[in-house]
Structure 1
Amino acid sequence: MADAHAHTDHSGASHGSVGSYLTGFVISVLLTVAAFGIVMAHSFSPSGTIAAIAILAAVQIVVHLVFFLHMNTSSEQRWNVMAFVFTVLTVFILIVGTLFIMHDTSINMMSR
């Protein structure tokens, strides 16, 4: 029985509870159903539908980060949050830069 606590995590990170995982799962399913409902009901214009789905996707990303990856603002999670922000910033720069280069190339190719 001396080995009972051998598998505990000493980093202070929480692994969540069953209730936390179920809450995240239910919210994720509701957000997915809402996105399908918006598309199937044709209740918005095409640009409104895209905007609504983008908003629901952003909320779903936050739900996954909080309920499944257990990211929060605690001091134990500071490096994880900083790494995530760096990743998001890098992806944003990559996407915006690619779109800029493609647009600029398209403009320059059309003028000849």
Structure 2
Amino acid sequence: MQTHEHSLQDYLTGLVLAVILTAIPFWVVWTSAFSAKVLFGIITLCALIQVIVHLRFFLNISLKHTGKDYLTALFFAGVLIFIMVGGTIWILYDLNFRMM
């Protein structure tokens, strides 16, 4: 597997993007300018983009320079996380419905 060296510029770019993608949801929630569904969508979108930023700028994972086996394992981990988070949300909504 080849390694791809990053410069200080790449890390600073990742840091700035991560801070911005963290500040956006805080600002949106703080201002209460949107409905709960829109807030959830904005937070989710920023979180997904931030995962990509972290993978690219901090973990040095790129489609061009990363082995196929490593990307497959990463994809599998993502599917497992999706199942766990989705299952948790599903259970919580079902419990909320049953408790009402």
Q: TM-score, length-normalised on structure 2? A: 0.79
> What is the CA distance between 1:48 and its match in structure 2?
1.0
Q: Which residue of 1 aligns with 2:25?
A: 35
Distance in 2 between residues matched to 1:56 and 1:99, nearest whole Å = 18
Distance in 2 between residues matched to 1:91 and 1:75, nearest whole Å = 24
**1:85 to 2:75 alignment:** yes
Aligned length: 97
Identity %: 31
In the alignment, which of 3, 6, 9 is matched to residue 16 of structure 1?
Answer: 6
Higher helix content, 1 or 2: 2
Q: Which residue of 1 aligns with 2:64?
A: 74
Q: Mark the structure with the bigger radius of gyration.
A: 1
- Aligned CA RMSD, in angstroms, stands at 2.5
Do the aligned residues in 2 keep the contact of 1:27 with 1:63 (CA within 8 Å)? yes
> What is the CA distance between 1:13 and its match in structure 2?
0.7
Q: Where do 5+ consecutive residues of structure 1 fail to align?
A: 1-10
